[in-house]
Structure 1
């Protein structure tokens, strides 16, 4: 035990020496903002750090980043270890992130080759068939000048269509895209604010549901967009303006708190719609069920989680 503690002390001493050898860190100034909640005053001395465009914040972050890199670079043997890791990493021909199989022996495959910057989405018809490239974020980057990544994807039950979320510059602010896998052409226009996805398709693949964040409002905080998100029912290829809300805080008979995330899934037999309510990282969730028959175009707008929801 004594030897272990002595070794740990030597390591900490060495790291401290490395840290002292680099430039001192800047101290962030205090700019206290006070809020009162239910009669209790809460002080926030660093709220201005939420504005990454603030020059003081930018300088502080860059200085701390440079300091961390300088400390790490001085660790003995680090560069040799990093080169070894990169060598082994480059030896991998490709990585497969997710495979989704749908009836008809269709395989949707998300993979990244050794020279690819991002995962690409392909469709394979038959286990030994050739791959059809569907979505290539590297090509999107060449067109837009911004790096993009696939956040999620969901094929229709027959594989004829696929919905996928695409975000730019690591933002994870996914935009919903629809693609006809037979022609390789997009369906309709992209739908913004689909960060959480939660996409599912009607049994015939003509309609889909998606969780959509609230539209930005003047004077609202950036985090307010995560409040009161709703599940919308959209006919594939039609404008989002024609979609109808089917599950969320505005649904009658459903108790969902503003920050909770509502999702909808359909059973494969076409009978039931399942409303799932997720509360952040908590393991507990709410579950509602309603007949699918109330979802489709003959139903009235805003009729709830498709039919009448039951918890």
Structure 2
């Protein structure tokens, strides 16, 4: 993409990173130098200075880019379109998020019926001058009387939980701090909710830790995660400690109340792998309820699954009979049912598919489920029987992504959120009362300056270095000529069992529309596109497969005539940043080795 700016042939003066040869680790007898570890301290003055030098280098490029301001203007116009999230129901009311266009943060709306007048329940944009305070979590009580919500600042993972009385928008005095890696789950009596947090820092270090929380730049590990229950109107110091495990300080805990309100499930995670333990506590069996737990030991959780060998996600329960979505002995996931009295006896409701990944299951209309499969990185939607798994109906959707299915088991209708590379967003409303599901458009997002007929989407399957076929989406204008003339942007992630499915991205649209770029999304190993086997094939000792897949995708784009090396840009975020760095370094190393071989050949005549 260098041809888009004026500095294509001008050398850049990158800042020199100091090497500290004294930093060497010994792993099982193997010494591994880490000369740039000093860069891991974001609060170091040397690191701050180095980052500023990098910023200046970037600015020297961007300031001479002739298309920058025009692109900024076009992006602003393109971004100015209304966006709606899928509605959800609590009590007899409907709730949904909405952004009118250029608002920094989306607003939470409420209405009494689908035809009712929407009313703003919470607007985070007024909570900070620069719009960087965001609504990171929210949970409405079962009777729709209270809203518990988490606020984060400047993109931090930390949040403070507040409570609003919905009827008059009164903010309650409740404030919960040190919250991270947490859900918010109300008990059905609306007296309070479960949440997770870390212990506050010891006195003397509190102010320093608090400053880091606001910035989200801490690099030290958070330890001793804990599950609490908070009663409305009480101070956080009075919250009930429901679970902790000092013998495993790195474990994290999430509490979730079942849809019937009888149980609280405890999800225990060891790391980012798709595996968890799951315990349960019968809230109805507590002698004096949760109020009686004050001053007592931890909640009497019963161990249902007590090893980290698979993932278990609650779907529904009828008294002690539970249905879970799991990858236990099913790398593409299956649906099982088990009883709390004899959990070793497991009934397979929906067995693992041969090719497709069972991604999500939502209970609705009593004993039915909406099932979402991922088939070659595209979603398939079905209505099935909760008891037997029998297929009842296919729900017709376009090629793309189902990003949300919103329903309660007692409801006869549901909402489905859909998007694709060329579909900004469609929310379908589906009523199951007649027995024959029919998807009706409830809301459809439109972008006034975007015409989907100007673009095309293709999916190709390319062989990696070891012959494994890797899916890749190629999105661009209708008049793509395979002569190597197009600038290409190649993106991938490849980690943590995360699947990258088709989605609408207005920034990509702007690049394609105004700069003729072809956008390519490679579904490399390490993700979850083909289940847990695909994930494991790109992690730990298999991590090199991710890089080989990505390099193969880049080579294909050149050999097929989409682009040429000097017009190919690669991008990845978070885990994808590791991917990009590794591929750059391996490419440089390959060039260096090639240069050495050429010199050897020339010297030997």
What's the TM-score, normalizing by structure 1?
Answer: 0.79
Q: Flag structure 1 segments of 5+ consecutive residues without an equivalent.
A: 1-10, 251-255
Change (3 A) 1:224 1:301: farther
Distance in 1 (CA, whole Å) between partners of 2:33 and 2:163 is: 46
Corresponding position of 1:49: 39
Tell me the CA shift for residue 173 of structure 1. Answer: 1.8
Matches within 5 A, 1:96-107: 96-97=84-85, 99-104=87-92, 106-107=93-94
Larger radius of gyration: 2
Please give the alpha-carbon distance, in whole angstroms, between the structure 1 residues aligned to 2:300 and 2:36.
44
Contact 1:108-1:123 at 8 Å conserved across structures? yes
SS for the counterpart of 1:65 is helix
Map 1:52-131 onto structure 2 (within 5 A): 52-71=42-61, 80-90=70-80, 92=81, 94-97=82-85, 99-104=87-92, 106-131=93-118
Question: Residue deviations 1:129-156, cap 9 Å, x none?
Answer: 22332322221114xx773111111111
Distance in 1 of aligned mates of 2:230 and 2:32: 43
How big is each residue's C-alpha offset from its partner over 1:233-279, in whole Å with a ceiling of 9 and x where there is no partner? 110121000012112315xxxxx832222011111323221111234
1:299 equivalenced with 2:293 (yes/no): yes
CA pair 43-302 structure 1, distance change in 2 beyond 3 A? farther
> Corresponding residue for 1:29?
18
1:266 matched to 2:260: no
Residues in 2 aligned to 1:16 and 1:146: alpha-carbon distance in whole angstroms: 31
Question: Which sits farther off after the overlay, 57-66 or 154-163?
Answer: 57-66
Cα contact 2:253–2:267 (8 A) shared by 1: yes
State the SS of the aligned residue for 1:193.
Answer: strand
2:155 corresponds, among 151, 170, 175, to 170
Report how many aligned residue pairs link the two structures.
290
Deviation at 1:41, TM superposition (A): 6.6
SS of the equivalent of 1:192 reads: strand
Match of 1:238 in 2: 234
Aligned-partner SS, 2:175: coil
> Where does the alignment leave 5 or more consecutive residues of structure 2 unmatched?
210-217, 306-605
Contact 2:279-2:301 within 8 A present in 1 as well: no
- Residue 60 to residue 159, structure 1, CA distance change in 2 (3 Å): same
Q: TM-score, normalised by structure 2?
A: 0.43
Go from structure 1 to structure 2 and tell me whether the alpha carbon gap of 1:52 and 1:282 turns closer, same or farther (over 3 Å shift): same
Q: 1:22: how far off?
A: 5.9
Question: How far does residue 17 in structure 1 lie from its aligned partner after superposition?
Answer: 8.9
Which whole-Å CA distance do the structure 2 matches of 1:20 and 1:302 have between them?
A: 70
Alpha carbons of 1:279 and 1:120: their partners in 2 closer, same or farther (altered >3 Å)? farther
Contact 2:158–2:179 (Cα < 8 Å) also in 1: yes
Q: How does 1:146-157 map to 2 (within 5 A)?
A: 147-157=132-142
**What is the distance in 2 between the residues matched to 1:99 and 1:20?**
51
* Cα displacement string for residues 5-31 of structure 1 (whole angstroms, at most 9, x for unaligned residues): xxxxxx77x599936626511112234
CA shift for structure 1 position 128: 2.0
CA RMSD of aligned residues (A): 3.2
Identify which of 199, 204, 218 aligns with 1:214: 199
Q: Hey, what's the Cα distance between the residues in 1 that align with 2:60 and 2:51?
A: 14
CA shift for structure 1 position 300: 5.8
